[in-house]
Amino acid sequence: MSYVREKPAKILLNLPTALQSSPSSAAFISWTPENPSCSFVGITCNSNGSVLEIDLSGKQLLGELPLDSICHLSSLEKLAFGFNSLHGTLSNQLSRCTGLRYLDLANNRFAGQLPDLSTLVELHYLYLNNSSFSGAFPWDSLTAMTDLVALSIGDNHFDSSPFPKQILSLRHLNWLYMSNSSINGEIPPEIGGMTELINLELSDNNLTSGIPPEVGRLTNLWQLELYNNSLTGRLPIGLRNLTKLEFFHASMNYLDGDLSELSFLTNLLSLQLFMNGFSGGVPEEFGEFRKLVNLSLYMNKLTGPLPQKLGSWSEFDFIDCQRIF
């Protein structure tokens, strides 16, 4: 076997040394010098034997990720270690993994600040959520990731920041998860240009002012999560255009006005708007929402009876409309 062929195996065999695995996971049971590296569990190679993917998600791994060796795999396109117990800081050696198209380090126990990611220009999918990162997020690194489709960075301890303008240039993005990310200030109207979004989650932040009417241009949205912020004002004209929306959650804000703009969202499965200042009646059209299974409207200023047909079309999980008079 040539040196070129040996090198990936040597690099990969650093992983069982650096990372501990639970006996029940048997993550590295096939990772032995006797086996071809392309036969290792979690490894995918191309026809030339070059390593394309390392996917050890959910393998109960513990330790610090040896990026200094992993990123010597110049053919590597996918690196996935989500749902483990990796710890320590992420080495700036990550910047050498320049061919990555898919990076998933979510749901781990890292510490400290993320390194610069600006060299990862091939990324399509970036998952870093719920991994105990802190400090300033390297927003400028996103500018070069023009092909990014999914960005998930929520549930970390980043420094407080206005809504990052760098995200607004990611016109191919269809999945954005930034809940619990210390984002403050207004949702910029330019978000209406991100028309490929199907999922937009901005809950548990410090967002203020109103929901911009430009959100009504996001007609591919399937889920819109805005709960537990400090949003104010009426539901903007244009929300009626989001006819593909199945989940709309904007509870625990300071929104007011009536709910008539939602009367057209007939595909809703879950509508949660509790603890706001909405007034008027519950639109009769809600009774025709045949897919609706979750509805929470309590602690508003709504009046009048509920629509007679509400909940008659599907098996409701819950209707919580206390304090509607």
pLDDT level of residue 23 (50, 70, 90 thresholds):
confident
Cβ atoms of 81 and 58 within 8 Å: the answer is no
Whether 5 has a pLDDT exceeding 50, the answer reads no
Distance CA 163, CA 101 (A): 25
Among residues 273, 165, 258, 288, the alpha carbon closest in space to that of 225 is found at: 273
Query: In this predicted structure, what is the pLDDT of residue 3?
Result: 33
Mean pLDDT on 101-123: 97
Mean pLDDT on 108-129: 97
For tokens 């069982």, name the residue. Answer: 16
pLDDT level of residue 325 (50, 70, 90 thresholds):
low
Helix extents (H) in the chain:
3-12, 14-18, 67-70
CB atoms within 10 A of CB 24: 7
Whether 9 has a pLDDT exceeding 80, the answer reads yes
Whether 1 has a pLDDT exceeding 50, the answer reads no
Distance CA 149, CA 6 (A): 34
pLDDT level of residue 323 (50, 70, 90 thresholds):
low
Whether 238 has a pLDDT exceeding 80, the answer reads yes
Buried b (16+ CB within 10 A) or exposed e, 284-294: ebbbebeebbb
DSSP secondary structure code for residue 38 in this structure: G
Architecture of the domain made up of 44-320: Alpha-Beta Horseshoe (3.80)
Cβ atoms of 263 and 240 within 8 Å: the answer is yes
Q: How many CA atoms lie within 13 A of 218 on its CB side?
A: 29
Among residues 73, 74, 77, 106, the alpha carbon closest in space to that of 90 is found at: 106
Cβ atoms of 269 and 245 within 8 Å: the answer is no
DSSP secondary structure code for residue 9 in this structure: H
Q: How many CA atoms lie within 13 A of 241 on its CB side?
A: 13
pLDDT level of residue 308 (50, 70, 90 thresholds):
confident
pLDDT level of residue 219 (50, 70, 90 thresholds):
very high
Whether 2 has a pLDDT exceeding 50, the answer reads no
Burial of 260 (0-12, 13-18, 19+ CB in 10 A): middle
Whether 6 has a pLDDT exceeding 50, the answer reads no
Distance CA 259, CA 135 (A): 39
Cβ atoms of 172 and 197 within 8 Å: the answer is no
Cβ atoms of 159 and 184 within 8 Å: the answer is no
CB atoms within 10 A of CB 34: 5
Mean pLDDT on 185-214: 98
pLDDT in tens, 257-299: 999 999 999 999 999 999 999 999 999 999 889 999 999 999 9
The token pair at 80 is 């996935």
Query: In this predicted structure, what is the pLDDT of residue 4?
Result: 39
pLDDT level of residue 202 (50, 70, 90 thresholds):
very high
Query: In this predicted structure, what is the pLDDT of residue 324?
Result: 56
* Whole-Å CA distances, 143 to 91, 154, 171: 21, 19, 11
Distance CA 4, CA 62 (A): 30
Query: In this predicted structure, what is the pLDDT of residue 322?
Result: 63
pLDDT in tens, 222-237: 999 999 999 999 999 9
Burial of 17 (0-12, 13-18, 19+ CB in 10 A): exposed
Q: What's CA 71's distance to the chain center, in Å?
A: 25
pLDDT in tens, 39-86: 999 999 999 999 999 999 999 999 999 999 999 999 999 999 999 999
The type of residue at 147 is: D
Q: Where are the domains of the chain?
A: 44-320
